[in-house]
Amino acid sequence: MTLRILLTGAAGFIGARVHRALTAAGHEVIATDLMLPAAHGPDAPAPDGVHRVDVRDRDALAPLLPGVDVVCHQAAVVGAGVSVADAPAYAAHNDLGTAVLLAAMAGAGCSRLVLASSMVVYGEGRYRTPGGDIVEVGQRDRADLAAGHFDQRSAGADLDWALVPEEAPLRPRSLYAASKVAQEHYAAAWVAATGGSVTALRYHNVYGPDMPRDTPYSGVAAIFRSALEAGQPPLVFEDGAQARDFVHVTDVAAANLAAVERPLPGFTALNVCSGHPITIGAVAAVLAEARGGPTPVVTGEFRPGDVRHIVASPEAARRLLGFTARVRPEQGLAEFAFAPLRLAAGAGAPTL
């Protein structure tokens, strides 16, 4: 069945891949992007077939929505938030933009949304004691970090990570995370008010060709890649044992296609991850080996707000969407070592 899809953020790193996946599957895609310099570089033109539209502008959205079966909402200001001054940009573009889009959808009679969310909504990951009990944790003690003790602790014992399920509490630890939680809450309230449906895809660490390079908002894989290109060793914080899940952008696009084609009732949040955990130190090592060095340097430095481990369960996405990631991190990262990257402004979050 051919669907008519409104895709926001269609020129971005992830949005462009989603655009390709949707069109390759035979769907009709109405593509939009605001073309913010922070994501696309200064004065970047919209690609062919992409409408330059601000999702905060309901009048601009209204003519695009009639007859749309589902909206795939990728547009967002991304990153962990380098400065508290970034907060208005996250609130304006991510939260107000989502609220305006939802209102416009309701006005046009469009009842389905696929929302790009993020694993950052969880804050810290999930932890278990040596005896296997799941325990709640808070922010790590700065004195422990300064002493080189990086693991979470409970009752004096170091904790190991456990898989984070979708029902885990939402505890944002950054400005960006707060905006993603707000997006999910607006979407869930919209479902309750309209009877529509939302599938929120909580992306884990996304990487792949055309990832932005050399900005404070780049992912760690791109930062390591840029260091290696410059002949410098990747600098790994803490002890390098921080566990994450790196998911290739082509798999993220496949998850969006599955969510578009398989409606789920109500509000459903799903982890989108590879299912193959990897440490930050191993990410640096794979990239360095692929490029022939230099060898990564584990610095022991830390950032107080950083999360120790966050690794998710892919089971719900497999069960409900039939989605399983195909690219294992070791394979994808080795290929990423020489993949083309995109230039971006890199000066910070966009202004309002």
Return the active site residues: 176
- How many angstroms separate the CA atoms of 26 and 261, rounded? 11
Beta bridge partners of 157: 154
Would you state the structure tokens that stand for residue 100, as one six-digit string?
A: 């305006």
Six-digit token string for 72: 């795939």
The DSSP output letter for 45 is: P
CB 305 within 8 Å of CB 218: no
Q: Quick one: angle between helices 280-291 and 329-336, nearest 10?
A: 50
Please give the full DSSP string across 94-142, using - where no structure is assigned: IIIHHHHHHHHHHHHT--EEEEEEEGGGG-S-EEE-TTS-EE---SPPH
| Residues 270, 17: Cα–Cα separation, whole Å | 19
